[in-house]
Amino acid sequence: MRIGSISQGKNKCDGCGATIRYAERYLIVKEKGGVENENGVIRHYCVRCAAEKKYVQTRTEKGERIVTFFKEIEKPVITKSEEELSEEKEARERSLKKSVNAEDEGGRTGKNE
Ligand SMILES: [Zn+2]
C-alpha cells in the first residue's frame, strides 16, 4: 500500500526526521524491517526520503518531469501469449485440414458408389 498525501504541516518524516512542511507531498507506506510490507507499520516519508528508498518514480512526459509515488499500474494482460496464439493457429489449421480431407474422402466415395 502506498498513499501519496499532502502534509498538513504536522507529520514528521520517518526517514530524515524533519517535519514535512505544509502542503508538501509525502508518502504513507507500510514497512517492516525497512522494506515495504503490508503487515508492517505505517511510515511517513517526505519526497526526498521516499526517493531514496526508491518509492518514487520519475518519468518525463511531454518534456515535464513527473514525480509519482506509485508503481506503474500494470495493464491487465488482454493479449494472448505467443504460445497460446500459435496453439490456436495450429488447432485451426488442424480442423481445416480435417474438413478438407473429409470432403475429399466424401467426394471419392461419392464417385465410387
Ligand atoms: Zn525525509
Domain assignments of the chain as residue spans, ordered by start: 2-68, 75-113
Q: What is the mean pLDDT of residues 62-69?
A: 84
DSSP 8-state secondary structure symbol assigned to residue 102: H
| Distance, CA of 113 to CA of 67 (rounded, Å) | 79
pLDDT at 109: 56
Q: Is the pLDDT of residue 75 over 80?
A: no
DSSP 8-state secondary structure symbol assigned to residue 42: E
Quote the mean pLDDT of the chain: 82
Comparing 104 with 38, the larger pLDDT belongs to: 38
99 C-alpha to center of ligand 1: Å? 70
The CATH number of the domain covering residues in 2-68: 2.10.110
58 C-alpha to center of ligand 1: Å? 17
DSSP 8-state secondary structure symbol assigned to residue 22: T
7 C-alpha to center of ligand 1: Å? 12
Comparing 22 with 74, the larger pLDDT belongs to: 22
| Distance, CA of 44 to CA of 31 (rounded, Å) | 10
Residue 69: closest CA among 84, 86, 51: 51
